[in-house]
Amino acid sequence: MAWELGYAMLERGESDLLGFEFEQDVSLRCISCGAEYPPHPRLTRCPRCGGLLEVQVRPRRGLSWSLWERRPPGVWRYRELLPAPRGAAAVTMGEGGTPLVALPRLAERIGHGGRLYAKHEGQNPTGSFKDRGMTVAVTLAREAGARAVVVASTGNTAASVSAYAARAGLRSVVVVPQGKTALGKLGQSILYGATVIEIQGSFDDALAAVMRAVEEDPRLYPLNSFNPWRLEGQKTLAYEIVEQLGHRVPDWVVVPVGNAGNISAIWKGFRELHREGLIDELPRLAGVQAEGAAPLARAWSRGLDRPLFVDEPETVATAIRIGRPVNWPKALRAVRESGGVFVSVSDDEIVWAQLALARLEGVAVEPASAASIAGLRKLLEEGIVGRGETVVAVLTGHGLKDPEAMLRAPARRLLARSPREAVEKLLETLGAPAAAPAAQGGCREEATGEAPP
Ligand SMILES: Cc1ncc(COP(=O)(O)O)c(C=O)c1O
Ligand SMILES: [Zn+2]
Domain ranges within the chain, ordered by starting residue: 2-58, 100-127+231-405, 129-230
Q: In what order do the strands lie in the sheet with 252-256?
A: 100-102, 116-120, 391-395, 252-256, 284-290, 341-345
Query: CA-to-CA distance for 334 and 323, rounded, in angstroms?
Result: 19
- Neighbouring C-alpha atoms within 13 Å toward the C-beta of 318: 24
Work out whether the CA dihedral 157, 159, 165, 168 comes out positive or negative. Answer: negative
Using alpha carbons only, give the angle 337, 24, 329 rounded to the nearest 5 degrees: 25
141 and 218 in contact (C-beta within 8 Å)?
no
Q: List Cβ neighbours of 72 (8 Å cut-off, separation of 6 or more).
A: 97
Mean pLDDT of the chain: 93
135-150 average pLDDT score: 96
pLDDT band at 102 (very low <50, low <70, confident <90, very high): very high
Judge whether residue 408 has pLDDT over 70.
yes
Q: Closest Cα to atom 9, ligand 1: which residue?
A: 259
pLDDT recorded at residue 114: 83
Burial of residue 331 (CB within 10 Å: 0-12, 13-18, 19+) is buried
The set of protein residues with a Cβ atom below 6 angstroms from ligand 1 is 128, 154, 156-157, 225, 256-262, 319-320, 366, 368-369, 396-397
Query: CA-to-CA distance for 100 and 98, rounded, in angstroms?
Result: 7
Q: Closest Cα to atom 14, ligand 1: which residue?
A: 319
- Lowest average pLDDT, out of 13-17, 156-160, 360-364, goes to 13-17
Number of residues written out for the chain: 453
pLDDT recorded at residue 433: 65
Judge whether residue 419 has pLDDT over 60.
yes
Q: Closest Cα to atom 1, ligand 1: which residue?
A: 397
Query: CA-to-CA distance for 208 and 162, rounded, in angstroms?
Result: 20
Work out whether the CA dihedral 363, 367, 372, 375 comes out positive or negative. Answer: positive
100-127+231-405 against 129-230: fold identical: yes
- DSSP code for 248: -
Cα(49) to ligand 2 centroid in Å equals 4
pLDDT band at 12 (very low <50, low <70, confident <90, very high): low
pLDDT recorded at residue 299: 98
Largest CA distance in the chain: 83
164-179 average pLDDT score: 97
229-255 average pLDDT score: 98
Strands 252-256 and 391-395: parallel
**pTM > 0.85: yes or no:** yes
Burial of residue 417 (CB within 10 Å: 0-12, 13-18, 19+) is exposed
323-331 average pLDDT score: 98
Cα(153) to ligand 1 centroid in Å equals 9
pLDDT recorded at residue 15: 59
Burial of residue 373 (CB within 10 Å: 0-12, 13-18, 19+) is buried
Judge whether residue 330 has pLDDT over 50.
yes
Query: CA-to-CA distance for 295 and 306, rounded, in angstroms?
Result: 9
pLDDT band at 435 (very low <50, low <70, confident <90, very high): low
209 and 186 in contact (C-beta within 8 Å)?
no
113 and 388 in contact (C-beta within 8 Å)?
yes
With CA atoms as reference, report the closest residue to 322 among 257, 375, 367. Answer: 257
Backbone conformation region of residue 247, classed left if phi is above 0, alpha if psi is from -120 to 50, else beta: left
Cα(369) to ligand 1 centroid in Å equals 8
As a CATH number, domain 129-230 is: 3.40.50.1100
pLDDT recorded at residue 446: 43
pLDDT band at 439 (very low <50, low <70, confident <90, very high): very low
Q: Which residues pair with 119 in a beta bridge?
A: 100, 394
143-163 average pLDDT score: 96
Judge whether residue 4 has pLDDT over 70.
no
Give per-residue pLDDT as tens, 278-312. Answer: 999 999 999 999 999 999 999 999 999 999 999 99
Cα(29) to ligand 2 centroid in Å equals 8
Query: CA-to-CA distance for 222 and 299, rounded, in angstroms?
Result: 28
Q: Return the ligand 1 atom nearest residue 128 CA.
A: 1
175-197 average pLDDT score: 97
Cα(154) to ligand 1 centroid in Å equals 8
The percentage of residues in the chain with a pLDDT greater than 90, rounded to a whole number, is 87
| C-alpha distances out from residue 106 to 25, 208, 356, 378, 393, Å | 44, 40, 7, 14, 12
DSSP assignments along 406-434, one per residue: HHTS-------SSHHHHHHHHHHGGGSPT
Which residue type is seen at 111? G
Judge whether residue 218 has pLDDT over 60.
yes
Judge whether residue 2 has pLDDT over 60.
no
Q: Would you call 227 helix, strand, or coil by DSSP?
A: coil
Query: CA-to-CA distance for 370 and 367, rounded, in angstroms?
Result: 5
Judge whether residue 263 has pLDDT over 70.
yes
Judge whether residue 448 has pLDDT over 50.
no
Indicate the top mutation candidate among 151, 156, 398 to test ligand 1's pocket, ranked by most ligand atoms within 8 A of CB: 156
Q: Based on C-alpha coordinates, what's the Rg of the chain? A: 22
Query: CATH class for domain 100-127+231-405?
Result: alpha beta
Give per-residue pLDDT as tens, 40-88. Answer: 999 999 999 999 999 999 999 899 999 999 999 999 999 999 999 999 9
Using alpha carbons only, give the angle 259, 262, 263 rounded to the nearest 5 degrees: 95
Judge whether residue 128 has pLDDT over 60.
yes
Q: Closest Cα to atom 12, ligand 1: which residue?
A: 319
